[in-house]
Amino acid sequence: MIDLHSHTWFSDGQLSPQALISRAATLGISQLAITDHDSVAAHRSLAAANIPAGMQVITGVEISTLWDNREIHIVGLFVDTEDALLNALLKQQQEKRRLRALDIGLKLQKSGITGLESYLAELPCEAISRNHIADFLIARGHASSKQQAFSKHLGKRGRFHSNADWCSIAEAVASIKAANGLSVVAHPDRYKLNKIKLRRLLAEFTEAGGDALEVSYSNLNPDTLKNLADLCCELDMWASVGSDFHTPDTTWMDLGRVRKLPAHCESRAIWLHPQWPATHR
């Protein structure tokens, strides 16, 4: 099995890189891309000796971008984790995450909720996210679930909402290309775009040099899968697959829990892309 979208505790995943790889091996994953949000630290922490026989770990990253006042995620695969341009962008993104967390922390303090800074300081993550802050609110009894934490506190209508001025799609794609990677629009149906806006998003992405669309991913119904496959073929894009795994607790998003690409889209599979390394075919 191939899974090209997963996370470790260096962003908002639960597992360490080694634990993630061990789980993937147990579940029969042959090729796993670790694509932490705005961080490639997981790959630097791994040594070749830690990779199980028969498994290939693909370097990756998931970059948050701002498009039409919406947060759009762009996955980069096979990126050179030492590339200067990519790392400069990721450093900027991590600083934006830190500043957003600081702003939310100040808003929490004004309402009498303290301790966020020390809570975040104890985490192994390099890219702080609102998911971490949601966990903090749950741990302190201010929310009963992540859904409530976002709807009541952290979402656009939440009491402690804070915007992040992410990079553009063009900047994300340029940094991935500079690092010799392939770029993918992640989980397109989660942005709540109508057909016209989705097409406009994909047009701007491909015009910027983007490569692929994530066609199959966890918790995706068959009709949406078919529609995305049709769109991928129509727009002459490559098709990617990935669970977007974060934690074993969400079994419906476990590693490898993705449907196969529809037959009419198989020829667009990203692992057939000319830039896909021969060593991973």
Domain ranges of the chain: 2-89+166-280
Distance CA 28, CA 93 (A): 33
**Mean pLDDT value across residues 86-96:** 97
Binned at pLDDT 50, 70 and 90, residue 49 comes out as low
pLDDT tens for each residue of 131-156:
999 999 999 999 899 899 998 999 88
pTM recorded for the entire structure: 0.95
Cβ atoms 255, 23 nearer than 8 A = yes
Considering the chain, what percentage of its residues have pLDDT values greater than 70? 99
C-alpha distance from residue 272 to each of 1, 67, 95, 154, 269 (Å): 15, 29, 36, 40, 6
Cβ atoms 71, 207 nearer than 8 A = no
Binned at pLDDT 50, 70 and 90, residue 51 comes out as confident
Binned at pLDDT 50, 70 and 90, residue 48 comes out as low
- Assign domain 2-89+166-280 one CATH number from 3.40.718.10, 3.40.50.1220, 3.20.20.140, 3.40.50.1170: 3.20.20.140
Does residue 64 register a pLDDT over 90?
yes
pLDDT tens for each residue of 170-205:
999 999 999 999 999 999 999 999 999 999 999 999
The pLDDT of residue 278 is: 87
What is the overall mean pLDDT for the chain? 94
